[in-house]
Structure 1
Amino acid sequence: MQMNFNLNLTQEQKLIMTQQMQLSVKLLQMSTFDLQQHIEKEAQENPVLDITYNDTDKESLEKRLDYKEMVKYFEFDNYGHHFYEKSDEDEVSPFNFVSEKKSLKDFLKEQLIDLGVKDYSKFICEYIIDSINGKGYLDSSTEEIGEELGLPSEIIEKAISFVQTLEPDGIAARNLRECLKIQLKKKRYDDEKLYILVDNFLEALAENKYALIAKELNVDIKRAQEYGDIIKTLEPKPSRGFYTGDEVKYITPDAYIKNINGEYFILINDSILPKIIINDTYREIIANEKDKLALDYVKEKINSALFLVKSIEQRKSTIYRVLEKILELQKEYFDKGEKYLKPMTLKDIAESLDMHESTVSRAIKEKYISTNRGTIKIKDLFTTGLSTNNSEEDVSTTFIKNKIKDLIDKEDKNKPLSDQTICDKLNEDGMNISRRTVAKYREEMNIKSSSKRKRF
């Protein structure tokens, strides 16, 4: 057995991302809202950073514009930055005057007061109401509530039944079947077969298996479908339309595309981002240059702050360039609507901008644009295409899906169109598409097959 120890010199190439490069990539893929939170977090961790949302005075403006003077104290000189100020007077938001939201539970408790429920019973009913989840269902069992309150199950069950008489219909049910049956009773349906259907054949109803339901209920298929129609009018989520305590998450557009006198303009939305300021105390340390350790520390922190500012500007520039190219390729879409959306891929944008596809992907990730046609997720504008028989241009999958949906909307529900029939009709219009692709797009739009769309 031989053991040799040799030294070998090899050459290899590796791409190593510095922390600064990683930060730039991270910031690029953030939405405007996420970027706002990131800046606030950085301000908490970096002592030289101050941020403000409401800064219009001249002195503070001069402090921010004086960053270039600070750069000369550092070993780098590539951190140029332009600051854009909002000079408008502070506006009072109309949302300051919106009244407090009334929750579903508040609505239910107010009904107890209106009905004059006694204190003891009121306490039990309010406990039950507080146990209702966000969908309007009662998660706890009768036994669990009885054990928690130290009361017999009979009293708890009676209180639950009372709460179930309140509005909205179906509230405080223990499961979907009970929820639907409560609503049927409130609507005064007394046909026992409706209740049997809810208890035993909801899965079959979801699949439109009316032949099976008709056989089991011993009715004709048309009557079975009428039962199904009644049940489909009921509300499976009683809390719908009420404030349940969860805040609505609003979409913040990352950019605006405005059509002004026939010309499009792109405006990056940085209005919700805080303005970044270097704290006065640390500015003075740099100016005096007395304590070397303190100076080195401050330089490091300001270096980090300036790189953050530069990365934010770079992010803004990249998003702008991507949107500019999208606008150029999809001008007809912005002019005329979804029907004119052209096939467009990440590769198309990346090659035209001399960027990497991953950069374009990060630039559009979870970002929205506000347009004259509403707020749009940028990613939805990217779509593959299908070739046509009578045109040199491909058509987008979105256009094909709209055609499929339009055909299904206009079909005779007694004889719904099969996937093959839809395929034939589209091919007659010059679209080169297969039956399998029609089925795939139909399923992506959550449209059932022809057998499950059939009406009797």
Structure 2
Amino acid sequence: MALGAKLQLRQSQSLVMTPQLMQSIRLLQLTHVELDRFVEEEIERNPLLERAEARDDEPAVDESPSSELRETSGIDQWFDDTAAANAQTMSERLDTSLENVFPDDPGIGETLSPDLALNWKSAATSGGTGAGEGFDVGEMAGGGPTLRDHVGEQIALAFRDPTSRIIAAELADALDEAGYLRADPVEIAERLGTGVEAVLDVLSICQSADPAGLFARDLAECLALQLKARDRFDPAMQAMVANLELLAKRDFAQLRKLCGVDEEDLVDMMAEIRALDPRPGLAFGGGTADPVVPDVIVRQAADGSWAIELNADALPRVLVDQTYFAVVSRRVRNQREKEFLAECLQNANWLTRSLDQRAKTILKVASEIVRQQDAFLLHGIRHLRPLNLRTVAEAIGMHESTVSRVTANKYMMTPRGVFELRYFFSVAIASAEGGDAHSSEAVRDRIRELIEAEKPADVLSDDAIVEILKKSGVDIARRTVAKYREGMSIPSSVQRRREKRVLASVRA
């Protein structure tokens, strides 16, 4: 059979990644802070978009233009003129449809369950917080001084010589956010054209700044500066600070020999070390931490079911000003202005539909997570079920990648606290008795409980923990127990035994 080249004409449909489609995909994975910032930027660029600040004492106003206004302004005919039946227009209309954005989702024509539709309606109509409804005291409070400002005030009082002030300012610029000096004094001396001794002299004065520990070059020097400020840097403390790696390994026998103290004094010295601040500069972060705002709120209803609703504070409400569009469209002077208005209206309508679809998708994913993890909400972490993205995606009829984007950086407020949506997805650990699998988070909690309940004379090794878990129906390997233990910053059984014996002997 001979091979030859030939031409074939084939007609097919494919999803085109238009800018509108990429925008909708991007909106799914934005946090509420990033989404609010994105909406503000769109409002600045698009004159047809505006914030919806509905108040309880004001009746709802229909933003769509009346039929009389549409007739006088000729909006319908205007649309017919601008939407020419060409290939480009048809491609834009087909490829930017919301049904194509979520091909695994039945689309906007899908009917939601009564509970889901009711929850979505209550969340969507609750409205956002307007500027006249109150104010946040935290927003009005002035920010504290930054680390650079705090150090600069002390430098101005500590040095009178202009040369020393310049060196001190250079050292202050080399501080990181934790207060450590991240520059070599030799390099600073070469850059300023002065001697290394002068830089070291200025550095010794700067290291007396408040709070103690600033301008340290490593952790040992930071702790030593704080101990000197407390007049507790005796030879025994010097030996302990010089051997912090032994303290991390909990090698108390070797520390007692190096420090020349007994067990009781060693425990007191360890307590003093723990009371020190290894990052003194973090107290002057220069900013405020953003609070976690949940995207979904879960409450227990009177009948024992779970009421799931979207948090209105995390939903930006945007409206398309059709009245303004009708007024402006009558005053267009050329084709360029007409095309600009058409593009603004298309983008505005697309953004509102994308935000609506994003909210509905988050609610659907959260509802399925609550259904899967009902036992966790009732009884706690021990009843957290193993769950993966595919299970949720198949249950709600969406693609796994869509669920992954929805659960990224989204939070759910439950009666047991605020959790990231990704928290409810955990690896399954097989059951030793052939029953249901166990969640990795539940197994971690069980390991933590076993270690916290152990006695100094009976410290559990990783093998002993494996045996206990197998008796309770958890089939787990020793290396997995060690990985979970290290992930929770729990030392090994040898290190825990040393620490418990020292503490027990001191208490005795």
Q: Please indicate the TM-score interval, normalised by the length of the shorter structure.
A: 0.7 to 0.9
- Going from structure 1 to structure 2, the CA distance change for 1:353 and 1:11 (only over 3 Å counts) comes to same
Deviation per residue, 1:317-366 (Å, 9 max, x gap): 11111111112222232233323322222122112112221121111111
Partner SS for 2:133: coil
Give the aligned partner of residue 25 of structure 2: 25
Amino acid at match of 2:41: K
Give the aligned partner of residue 421 of structure 2: 378
| Cα distance in structure 1, aligned partners of 2:195 and 2:294 | 54
| Cα distance in structure 2, aligned partners of 1:193 and 1:12 | 84
Which residue among 177, 181, 185 is the counterpart of 1:138? 181
| Cα distance in structure 1, aligned partners of 2:158 and 2:434 | 72
| Cα distance in structure 2, aligned partners of 1:143 and 1:160 | 12
What is the deviation of 1:421? 0.4
Partner SS for 1:171: coil
| Cα distance in structure 1, aligned partners of 2:76 and 2:309 | 29
Deviation per residue, 1:101-158 (Å, 9 max, x gap): 2444555566679xx7575489569735555331012334445556677766555544
What is the deviation of 1:302? 1.3
Which residue among 220, 234, 252 is the counterpart of 2:276? 234
Deviation per residue, 1:233-270 (Å, 9 max, x gap): 43221224x13224423333222223454553323235
Q: After alignment, is 302-311 or 121-130 more displaced?
A: 121-130
What is the deviation of 1:425? 1.2
Are 1:269 and 2:311 matched, yes or no? Answer: yes
How many pairs were matched up?
447
- Going from structure 1 to structure 2, the CA distance change for 1:231 and 1:92 (only over 3 Å counts) comes to closer
Which residue among 454, 462, 467 is the counterpart of 1:424? 467
Give the aligned partner of residue 437 of structure 2: 394
Q: Is the 8 A contact 1:419 1:438 kept in 2?
A: yes
Q: Is the 8 A contact 1:50 1:276 kept in 2?
A: yes
- Going from structure 1 to structure 2, the CA distance change for 1:321 and 1:287 (only over 3 Å counts) comes to farther
Amino acid at match of 2:410: K
Gaps of 5+ in 1: none
Are 1:450 and 2:493 matched, yes or no? Answer: yes
Partner SS for 2:284: coil
Deviation per residue, 1:201-245 (Å, 9 max, x gap): 333433334566567x386995896566654443221224x1322
Which residue among 348, 361, 365 is the counterpart of 2:391? 348
Q: Is the 8 A contact 1:48 1:279 kept in 2?
A: no
Amino acid at match of 2:459: P
Alpha-carbon RMSD across the aligned residues, in angstroms, is 4.1
Q: State the TM-score, normalizing by the size of structure 1.
A: 0.81
Which residue among 255, 258, 279 is the counterpart of 2:296? 255
Q: After alignment, is 307-316 or 123-132 more displaced?
A: 123-132
| Cα distance in structure 1, aligned partners of 2:335 and 2:56 | 33
Q: Is the 8 A contact 2:43 2:49 kept in 1?
A: yes
Q: Is the 8 A contact 2:185 2:196 kept in 1?
A: yes
What is the deviation of 1:378? 0.6
What is the deviation of 1:298? 2.2
| Cα distance in structure 2, aligned partners of 1:376 and 1:256 | 11
- Going from structure 1 to structure 2, the CA distance change for 1:100 and 1:229 (only over 3 Å counts) comes to closer
| Cα distance in structure 1, aligned partners of 2:250 and 2:464 | 21
Are 1:163 and 2:163 matched, yes or no? Answer: no
| Cα distance in structure 2, aligned partners of 1:297 and 1:390 | 67
What is the deviation of 1:23? 2.5
- Going from structure 1 to structure 2, the CA distance change for 1:336 and 1:299 (only over 3 Å counts) comes to same
Are 1:36 and 2:39 matched, yes or no? Answer: no
Which residue among 429, 434, 440 is the counterpart of 2:483? 440
Give the aligned partner of residue 248 of structure 2: 206
| Cα distance in structure 2, aligned partners of 1:87 and 1:235 | 40
Amino acid at match of 1:248: A
- Going from structure 1 to structure 2, the CA distance change for 1:14 and 1:130 (only over 3 Å counts) comes to same
Give the aligned partner of residue 188 of structure 1: 231
Deviation per residue, 1:254-307 (Å, 9 max, x gap): 222234545533232353525343486643354578745533442233112211
Q: Is the 8 A contact 2:151 2:172 kept in 1?
A: yes
| Cα distance in structure 2, aligned partners of 1:167 and 1:292 | 67
Q: Is the 8 A contact 1:214 1:224 kept in 2?
A: no
Q: State the TM-score, normalizing by the size of structure 2.
A: 0.73
Are 1:92 and 2:91 matched, yes or no? Answer: no
Gaps of 5+ in 2: 84-92, 99-107, 110-120, 503-508
Identity %: 26
What is the deviation of 1:311? 1.1
What is the deviation of 1:8? 3.1
Partner SS for 2:6: coil
What is the deviation of 1:449? 1.9
Amino acid at match of 1:370: M
Amino acid at match of 1:91: G
Q: How does 1:247-326 map to 2 (within 5 A)?
A: 247-259=288-300, 261=302, 264-271=306-313, 273=316, 275-278=318-321, 282-286=325-329, 291-326=334-369
Amino acid at match of 1:252: V
